[in-house]
Structure 1
Amino acid sequence: MKNNFSDSLFNNTIEGILIIENGFIKDINNTMLNILNYDSKNELIGKLATGILIPNVKKKYLEYNNETYEEITLISKNINMIPAIIKITDFIMDDRKYKMVFIQNLTELKKKEMLLLEQSRMAAMGEMISMIAHQWRQPLTSIAAAVSNLKFRANLDKYEKETFIQKLSDIDKYLNYMSTTIDDFRNFFKTKKEKEYISLDSVIEDSLKMVEKAFKNSNIKIVNNKKEMKKLYLFRNELIQVILNIFNNSKDAFAEQKHNEKPTVTINYKDTKDYQIIEVCDNAGGVPEKIIDKIFDPYFSTKENKNGTGIGLYMCKTILEKHCEGNITAKNIPNGVCFKIRVKK
């Protein structure tokens, strides 16, 4: 099918290439052999292409180098699953119809994506520590006051059983609250990747537990127009990461404002035929129109002088598109901005 020059070109492309006729592999280039860890073309030529190309149950598409590719999974010789994207072109030669399949190995890209996700989670950890401090400050103060009171009474030999029992009961209550709080945050940082059968409104509730004290201390009102949503199989922690990122962006935006008598974050819920929708809106002044289309780009930050990483909203977009078959958009509203999160049912 090829002369010497085209044969050399065919075998030295960056992408893997398959030539398929009626579903059977007619030729394969060296790049593809390397991706699949095969030693010889003869091991694959004449075999069904479906033996190495496994399409996703639900078709997924990826923008790569300004081209649209379909995401698939490759099966290597040693039965490893390799993430990849493909583009197919039909051509005719000697009155016979063939398909030329261009394949790009996504293994390194997926590793970088996971690295970005972990980087984003590490950035969130700093926020979490601050939130834990807000959650614990009041009970720690109360425990210290109760202990001091008991010590004072003991030193004066003023032992009153009922008073001591009440103070110890109060301390126990504060400790239980602190234990519950740390469990909420610890669950967030678990590396568990299995989907859970949960509802979006419960994800919001879990997220609010983590920020309520910090928001209260910053005089930010939260209006949660809660609506009970049907449960879906979702990645709980990753969705919490999305919600927390939006909450923290609002908190930072309020901190930059000189005057805002009623800083408010409002959460609304919607249900459509194909999607469940959460809208998180604030009245923190909005995003300049000239950059609102860029805020989901990687490493784009409006906080360059404030230790902004520029990956928070990008990771929100990645999590929703890759793991929830959804998306996130932002639009300015009077005196603020509204983030719309859509999750596929």
Structure 2
Amino acid sequence: MSDNNKFFTDIHEITDNTIEGILIIEDGFIKHVNRSLIDILCYEDEKELIGNLAIGILIPTSKEKFIEYNSKIFQEISLLNKNADVIPAIIKIKDININNVSYKMVSILDLTEIKKNEKIVLEQSKLAAMGEMVSIIAHQWRQPLSAVGSIITTLKLKYNLKRIDLNTYDEKLTQINNYVQYMSNTIDHFRDFLIKDSKKDLVKIEEVVNNSYSLIKNSFDILGIKVNINSKESLNKIYLHKNDLTQVILNILNNAKDALVLNNISNPQITINFSQKESSFQIIEIEDNAGGINLNIIDKIFNPYFSTKEKKNGTGLGLYICKMIVEKYLNGEISVKNKKNGTSFIIKLFI
């Protein structure tokens, strides 16, 4: 038995007791695989894998994705198991040398359960947003319903007094129809938000932002918060999941609203700008004048369970979920910085 073969025989004692999968590759071919990875890939024995090309089970993402944990860089990939199922995973690759032969050792962590938990958190976040919007819709409908009731009462009174004329009748019916259309549009936007995106749509990001804001506009108007959405016709349409972006926009806008109210800003404003970097990416910048974020905590606001609000008013998951959605589902990046009078959130969406 050669020294290297003896090494691979001996290494089983170590690698078969690790949680993560271990793969050792020489010139692209699998030389060793531990028990954990065999189980992850649904194989019976390592003999089914030894000697095969590693690319048969390791599938890189269409765009390189790297994840940083404790200053160590991992790459996000997919695994292909024996049943041709795709398994999400992260890997760490290290070059090793055994008896002057170069190998690559790949440590692999199955992300299946983590991804499931992420989806649960996202759905819970969406349900929370839905509850808030139900309240907003109820408020938005109150005034139109009251107006429709008032118009009907007026028409009935004029009819009883025999003072109705066709012009007045037509005018009042038009007003009722306008209110009904407004209420119908509100429900349509709400319904669209609830529908789970099954495919990406070709859209202009300005339209998504405008539709997102229309869902909560009434609550901003009541508080006297002016929202300026500066659209740019020059932006190209891009493919994305509209509802994912809507969830991010709603979260950031509501956070800005809370900050403006909490800090009692006399002339509260939010400005949304758009820009495009050639054919590489588009940017949504959401800026408020709420006074900014303390520099001691600004680097932590995307961390899970970190909140600047009182415990009863914040879970600390809102911005963490925004970051997760942008990076994992919208192929983008999100960052924050302080500006002269407030905070600016920058969402970069790669085309």
TM-score range, shorter chain: over 0.9
Q: Which residue of 1 aligns with 2:36?
A: 31
Q: Tell me if 1:290 matches 2:296.
A: yes
Q: Tell me if 1:213 matches 2:218.
A: yes
Q: Write out aligned runs for 1:139-218 (5 A).
A: 139-156=144-161, 160-218=165-223
Q: Which residue of 2 aligns with 1:47?
A: 52
Q: Which residue of 2 aligns with 1:118?
A: 123
Q: Tell me if 1:98 matches 2:103.
A: yes
The structure 2 residue matched to 1:271, chosen from 243, 259, 276, is: 276
Shift of 1:173: 1.9
TM-score, normalisation: structure 1: 0.93
Shift of 1:324: 2.8
Which is further off, 138-147 or 304-313?
Answer: 304-313
Which is further off, 322-331 or 279-288?
Answer: 322-331
Shift of 1:159: 5.4
TM-score, normalisation: structure 2: 0.92
Shift of 1:279: 1.2
Task: Provide the C-alpha distance between the structure 2 equivalents of 1:296 and 1:37, rounded to a whole number of angstroms.
Answer: 36
Identity %: 49
Which is further off, 12-21 or 160-169?
Answer: 160-169
Task: Provide the C-alpha distance between the structure 1 equivalents of 2:129 and 2:160, rounded to a whole number of angstroms.
Answer: 45
Task: Provide the C-alpha distance between the structure 1 equivalents of 2:8 and 2:327, rounded to a whole number of angstroms.
Answer: 43
Contact map agreement 2:28 2:53 (CA 8 A) in 1: yes
Shift of 1:75: 0.8
Q: Secondary structure at the match of 1:38?
A: coil
Task: Provide the C-alpha distance between the structure 2 equivalents of 1:173 and 1:263, rounded to a whole number of angstroms.
Answer: 30
Shift of 1:16: 0.3
Counterpart amino acid of residue 131 in structure 2: G
Shift of 1:157: 5.6
Q: Which residue of 2 aligns with 1:320?
A: 326
Q: Secondary structure at the match of 1:12?
A: coil
Q: Write out aligned runs for 1:78-93 (5 A).
A: 78-93=83-98
Could you say what the CA RMSD is over the residues aligned between the two structures, in angstroms? 1.9
Task: Provide the C-alpha distance between the structure 1 equivalents of 2:32 and 2:292, rounded to a whole number of angstroms.
Answer: 55
Deviation readout 1:206-246 (Å, 9 max, x if unpaired): 12212222211111111222212111111211111111111
Unaligned runs of 5+ in 1: none
The structure 2 residue matched to 1:17, chosen from 14, 22, 32, is: 22
Q: Write out aligned runs for 1:52-67 (5 A).
A: 52-64=57-69, 66-67=71-72
Shift of 1:156: 4.6
The structure 2 residue matched to 1:310, chosen from 316, 332, 336, is: 316
Q: Secondary structure at the match of 2:62?
A: strand
Which is further off, 118-127 or 238-247?
Answer: 118-127
Q: Tell me if 1:255 matches 2:261.
A: yes
Which is further off, 270-279 or 33-42?
Answer: 270-279
Shift of 1:72: 1.0
Q: Which residue of 2 aligns with 1:72?
A: 77
Task: Provide the C-alpha distance between the structure 1 equivalents of 2:272 and 2:307, rounded to a whole number of angstroms.
Answer: 24
Change over 3 Å in CA distance of 1:15–1:205 after alignment to 2? same
Counterpart amino acid of residue 102 in structure 1: S
Q: Which residue of 1 aligns with 2:339?
A: 333
